[in-house]
Structure 1
Amino acid sequence: MELNSIKPAAGAKHAKRRVGRGIGSGLGKTAGRGHKGQKSRSGGYHKVGFEGGQMPLQRRLPKRGFKSTTLKFNAEVSLTALEQLGAAEVNLVVLKQAGLVGQRAKVVKVINTGELSKAVKLNGIGATAGAKAAIEAAGGSLA
């Protein structure tokens, strides 16, 4: 094989369709554009979403909803998860290493789900009112 003899696979390349080249080509006269109308004219087209002057769908529908971009940095941990963790002192680094929260988490809150029997000291972690009561009842504290 030589560089000058390399060819594409059979059928991989085909000639570009030439329109507007006479009756015999099958695409003469209107060149596949049909008769009249904006789309038949040269340079005639419209913006994406344009509906001929009618109020477009994206403007007819009401604006709705909002998703905060900071939500991906928030995480929550249950009392059951703290019980299973079994650490006396818990902070963000410990939770990340244990895989209880994602690596991108910045704000962590303990929620009142399950039971807690061990005393746990929380550093830099929030807790709901119910969770705080449960932690303090078990002899733990929040810092």
Structure 2
Amino acid sequence: MDDYLSRGEEISPALLKAIEESRNYVIVFSEKYASSRWCLDELVKIIDCKKSNQQMVIPVFYKVSPSDVRNQKGCFGDGLAGLECNYKDNVDKIHKWRPALSEAGNLSGWTLLDKFNSAYVSLSSIAGPKSGSRRRGRPSGFLFNF
């Protein structure tokens, strides 16, 4: 749980606000990702923010293929099909999920195929140097250990 989201606070609006206020996003796609309405709703919001505010989105494909995310095949197709059955009355949601998955699957990211993979991702190597700003010390980054 995010430190800025208080316990008892309604998660959906608070989480959507936190997404809007974020500068960058790391999305970890896993085998069960497309089975989660929450994950898909958050993805739609992230992609919307990326388009309107040009925020950076870094996808990590953990035990899934980017093409399965992009084309909603394999476990992504199965997960989405299950949700489609549950949300027959809300096709608008489904029509937002599919393009968001396609767009995210087209982004350059990291594919980690087994639990023994680990990757160090240097944000400076992704974003490149920003004009007019200099950073001292080690570059910031993320360490993924699965």
Higher relative contact order (CA 8 A, sep 6+): 2
**What TM-score range do you get, normalising by the shorter chain?**
under 0.3
Q: TM-score, normalised by structure 2?
A: 0.24
Q: TM-score, normalised by structure 1?
A: 0.24
Give the helix-richer structure, 1 or 2: 2
Give the strand-richer structure, 1 or 2: 2
